[in-house]
Amino acid sequence: MHAGFGVQGASSSPRSYAEAMPSKEPKAYDGKRITVTYDTGRCLHAAECVRGLPEVFDSGKRPWVQPDGAEPERVAEVIRRCPSGALQYRLACEGPTEEPDRPTTVVRSSAGQLVLRGDLRVTTPEGAVRRETRAMLCACGVSGNQPFCDHSGACGND
């Protein structure tokens, strides 16, 4: 596990729930004032979500995301801590969309992944260009979810 992200353990990570329900498309959780989306394949157990707002992100509940469990601005603030970009959000009304960090930053984690935040255009192996604000990219080439890290490589042992 990645020491820098303080992973709590597989049983408490949202991915342990998500792995039981594999999905290619991000899953949407609609609340009254915010929709939260979760991309299973990009979740790297950082646990910022369950630590930051356990009343909204609780792997012991079904569904594990309860978007109305806190004020939408607070939900959005915690989602922006998700380093992998697995969690994203849309506010229901005139609220602001996520502003990319400026300047864009790139950091290599101790496990080797490239951790990016900013106004990103990420190209998939199929040639699609995705606009992202947060991403952790595979640096070893082993990931089955390229270009994102999925912990298949040596990084999974860190």
* Positions in the binding site for ligand SF4 (CB under 6 A): 13-14, 43-49, 82, 84, 86-87
Q: Which does residue 47 bind out of ligand FES, ligand SF4, none, counting CB within 5 to 8 angstroms by kind? A: ligand SF4
* Nearest in space to 50 (alpha carbons), one of 75, 29, 26, 25: 75
Q: Which does residue 48 bind out of ligand SF4, ligand FES, none, counting CB within 5 to 8 angstroms by kind? A: ligand SF4
Alpha helices by DSSP H, the chain: 14-18, 48-52, 72-79
* Nearest in space to 123 (alpha carbons), one of 133, 115, 132: 132
Site string for ligand FES, 6-45 (x = CB under 6 A): ----------------------------------------
The residue range among 32-40, 46-54, 93-101, 132-140 that interacts with ligand FES, by the rule CB under 6 A, is 132-140
Q: Are strands 129-137 and 27-30 parallel, antiparallel or unpaired?
A: unpaired
Q: Are strands 105-108 and 114-123 parallel, antiparallel or unpaired?
A: antiparallel
Binding site for ligand FES (CB under 6 A): 112-113, 138-140, 142-143, 149-153, 155
